[in-house]
Every structure is written in C-alpha cells, then in structure tokens.
Amino acid sequence: MHRILFQIGPVELYSYGLCVALGFLVAAILILKEAKKIGLPSDAIFDCVIAALVGGLTGARLLFVVINWQDFAHSPLRALMFHEGGLAFQGGLVFGILSVLLVARIKGLSFWKVADLFAPYIALGQAVGRIGCFLNGCCYGRVITSGIGVTFPGETVVRIPAQIYSSLSLLGIFLVLIALRARRRFDGFVLSMYLILYGVFRFFIAFTRADNPLFFSWLKLSQAISVATILAGIGLYLALRRRGQ
C-alpha cells in the first residue's frame, strides 16, 4: 500500500487521486480520438467529457458519503477531501449519465450515440482507477486463510486482492464492449451492454469485499444497486431494440 507516492515540501501526491486522474485522462483521450473517426464534433464531445467528469465525481462522492455517513457526521467538511479516497462509482455512473444527457441535448447530439462512444472507455478508466484503490488500501477484500492474498501495511491478516480482480474484470468488460461495438444493432446498444456487464461484475465482486454494508440479510447494498443496474440495462436494451425495429 502506497497512499502517498512522493512529497515535495507541503505538496503530497496521492496514488489514489493519480490513478483516478490517469484513468479519466486515458478515457478522455481515446473518446476524443474515436469521436473524430465516427464524425462527432470534437468540441461538443469535449464538453460531454467535462460534464461526465464533474457529474461523475459529484455523484460518486455523494453516494460514498451517504453510505458512510457515520464517518462524516462529526466532520462534514471531510466530504470534500477527495484525496483521502472514497468514491462509490455507482453514484458517479448515474450522475455522469445525467450530466452527459443534459449537455448532449444542449449541443444537439444524439445521447445514445454519445453513450455508445463513452461506454467502453468508462470501463477502461475504471480499470485504471481500481489500481489506485489497491495502492490506497480502500475497497479491500475479505480475510482469507488460503489462496492468493495480500497483507496491507499495519495488518497481520491476509486479504483477497479484490481491487486487482476488479481492475482485471473491468479491463475484460472494456475488451468485450469494443468487440460488441462493431456489431452494434442500434444506438444505445453498447451502453445497455455495459450496464448489464458492469452490474453482473459488481454483484459478484461484492462477495470478495469486506467494506460493503449489508442491505438485507446476506445482500449487500452494492449488490442491490447492481441488480437495479442489470435491470436498467435489460430494460434499456429491450426498449431501444423495439424502437430501432
């Protein structure tokens, strides 16, 4: 675990923030590059990228604070300290989509075409960002007594490297979406596939994590949100397919 990569005087570079920024930068560059190939205006797509960044970070931090409200109840200003880590991506996904939807409408773009452009690179950006989770020590896995594990500084137990498994899984989703994009049947197809694949991945990866609160019985809150994500993806696929036909 390397929360602080290096320090120059009072300036500290946090590994979590660097990986999140790097993931966004890689995704943004590839989105803008792909936009030129398919004939979408670069300036309008850039505005959508910025909207996704602002909306995504706001939603991700908001959901994290709501889930962990006990940790912020006595110090609300800590909610603004992004460098400490703590982003619930599912909140960022909702706010990011709504932000892009708004900007796409303002710019006169087809939201579904923009969403299909963004979807694979969202997964790629997530894959890079999860490396930051590993270096930061957040989103940690369950304690295990056998198998592949990792021991973080200050601990004596061995944990599942859930962050690394998440990163590899998200990279796989990225590759699948890139392959599916070539067979896109209608606008919004890639986005619907992303929602389904991400929901399935997040549901099962929750079994390896020890930091998710329970929602009902054995069901964790992130798994309940994942089920909603899967249903949203299926509903979107059926609705857009019917409209396309």
pLDDT-derived band of residue 82, with 50, 70 and 90 as boundaries? low
Element (H, E) at 169: helix 162-181
pLDDT-derived band of residue 53, with 50, 70 and 90 as boundaries? very high
* Rounded CA separation 110/240 (Å): 13
Query: What SS3 class is residue 56?
Result: helix
Q: Where are the chain's structural domains?
A: 4-244
Q: Which residues are CB-contacts of 152 (< 8 A; sequence separation ≥ 6)?
A: 1, 137, 140, 159
The burial class, CB within 10 Å (0-12 / 13-18 / 19+), for 48 is buried
Query: What is the torsional sign of CA 3, 129, 49, 77?
Result: negative
Report the C-alpha dihedral over residues 13, 16, 21, 23, rounded to 10 degrees: 140
pLDDT mean across residues, the chain:
89
Element (H, E) at 223: helix 221-244
* Rounded CA separation 226/50 (Å): 26
pLDDT-derived band of residue 63, with 50, 70 and 90 as boundaries? confident
